[in-house]
A = this chain, B = another copy of it.
């Protein structure tokens, strides 16, 4: 007998789960569309070469690879993984977008604003809140280097979180050039910048001491590490203050970071209006394709982020002849759901939703056709109607209605059928009425 569990790190979503997911996705879509973003979908399966080399070394290893098929798979000649696989599962939504933009250059508008809400797969070690299949809700604007893009993206994701009921989120904003300037100031050689960023990216998880240790491991000199950690300690001090955080942080960076970069950060703050942004010069973001502003959204009761993004002006050029500026943000559906579940943030119409508004029972074999006809009539009037499929004892049919939480039951007994009426029962109040079929909708709507 085969196992009945989903594969490791994967999940089945029962109806009550799907309703919550669809509710959140619905809000996200509505807001993205109100900002003029259009829907895009890409296949789950990409050519392996499309994905390789885009996510850094760790990313390469976490890509699910698909076995070659038929004659293409020659076990006798397979010396390495690359002989066995030619396809892979989507790892994020940004690289496929870059491919699509390069592939459809002439069919897409000069400024292409798209959203995409689809699952991605990573062969990560499963843990609490970390799955091997999870949804990303991406929004990206292609074709402009203007900070209007960053501003609008952050306005949109802020509005989504507010509409979902989040009031305590923070957008941490940084810029890859800020990090480069800080690393240069500290004397970290350019060829060690990537290593340094990988270490700095772990600040939240392993703290300042952990980062210092990892910097040393990765060959960054003690002197450079000391300067780095001083800059970040100073930042942390400012972040813990109450007032004018961004102004003070910028002042603190004036001798380290170029005016142009600081001006970009200032524009983003201005254009994103009331989004709750603080500049955090220690924010690094893992993915290697970022080139400009980077951002991440956090809430106090969740380790890790609700979403993140940034500018990646070089990625599309890896697929096309042309460098095209681009910037995007990705909301993590699973983490939003985890926090909403723990805080009880779903509206009652979602949590109380049931399979149907009313169930039509079956009196006996001979009246099945009448019950089915009643169900069809009620559906035409806009009700969601299920039919008990068998001529069971009425008690069992009521018990089923009760166990599924369906709030109303219709009975078509001999008497009711003779009188062309229906008996309707409210399962919550216990009230019963004998009505014409046409009177049922208004009774249920009350």
Contacts and interface: CB of A to CB of B under 8 A. Distances in A.
Interface of A: 1-7, 10-15, 17-19, 21-22, 33-47, 49-50, 61, 64-67, 69-70, 73, 75, 78-81, 84-85, 87, 89, 96, 99-100, 102-104, 107-111, 113-114, 119, 121, 123, 132-133, 141, 143-144, 146, 148-149, 151-152, 155, 270-271, 273, 318-321, 355-356, 359, 362, 368-369, 372-373, 376, 379, 383-390, 400, 403-404
Contacts of A103: 4-6, 12
Given A146-B389, A146-B390, 8 more contacts: A18-B40, A36-B385, A36-B386, A45-B121, A73-B81, A144-B389, A148-B389, A148-B390
Contacts of A34: 379, 383-385
A15 B40 contact: yes
B389 A141 contact: yes
B3 A373 contact: no
Contact of A13 (B21, B40, B373): B40
B152 A318 contact: no
B43 A67 contact: no
22 contacts: A1-B321, A2-B50, A2-B319, A4-B99, A6-B42, A6-B99, A7-B43, A10-B43, A12-B104, A18-B39, A33-B384, A37-B355, A65-B66, A75-B78, A109-B400, A109-B403, A111-B400, A113-B386, A144-B389, A146-B390, A271-B368, A273-B373
Contacts of A355: 36-38, 109, 113
A143 B389 CA distance: 9
Contacts of A362: 148
Contacts of A388: 111
A292 to B, nearest CB: 14
A166 B11 CA distance: 36
Nearest to A17: B41
Given A35-B386, A144-B389, A43 B271 contact: no
A379 to B, nearest CB: 5
B319 A1 contact: yes
A109 to B, nearest CB: 5
B144 A11 contact: no
Contacts of A78: 75, 78
Given A35-B385, A144-B390, A387-B36, A1 B318 contact: yes
Contacts of A17: 41
B44 A44 contact: yes
| Residue of A36, A143, A321 with most chain B CB atoms under a 10 A cut-off | A36
A387 B18 contact: no
Q: What 10 pairs between A and B have smallest CB-CB spacing?
A: A36-B386, A10-B43, A4-B103, A15-B38, A36-B356, A18-B39, A144-B389, A13-B41, A148-B389, A65-B67
A380 to B, nearest CB: 9
A114 B319 CA distance: 42
A376 B15 contact: no
Contact of A87 (B7, B19, B61): B7
Given A66-B66, A133-B45, A35 B379 contact: yes
Given A12-B40, A355-B113, A376-B155, A148 B368 contact: yes
A384 to B, nearest CB: 5
A41 B18 contact: yes
Nearest to A406: B36
A374 to B, nearest CB: 12
Nearest to A19: B39
A10 B87 CA distance: 11
A84 B113 CA distance: 41
Contacts of A119: 44
| Residue of A6, A362, A373 with most chain B CB atoms under a 10 A cut-off | A6
Contacts of A2: 47, 49-50, 99, 318-319
B121 A44 contact: yes
Contact of A43 (B12, B81, B109, B111): B12
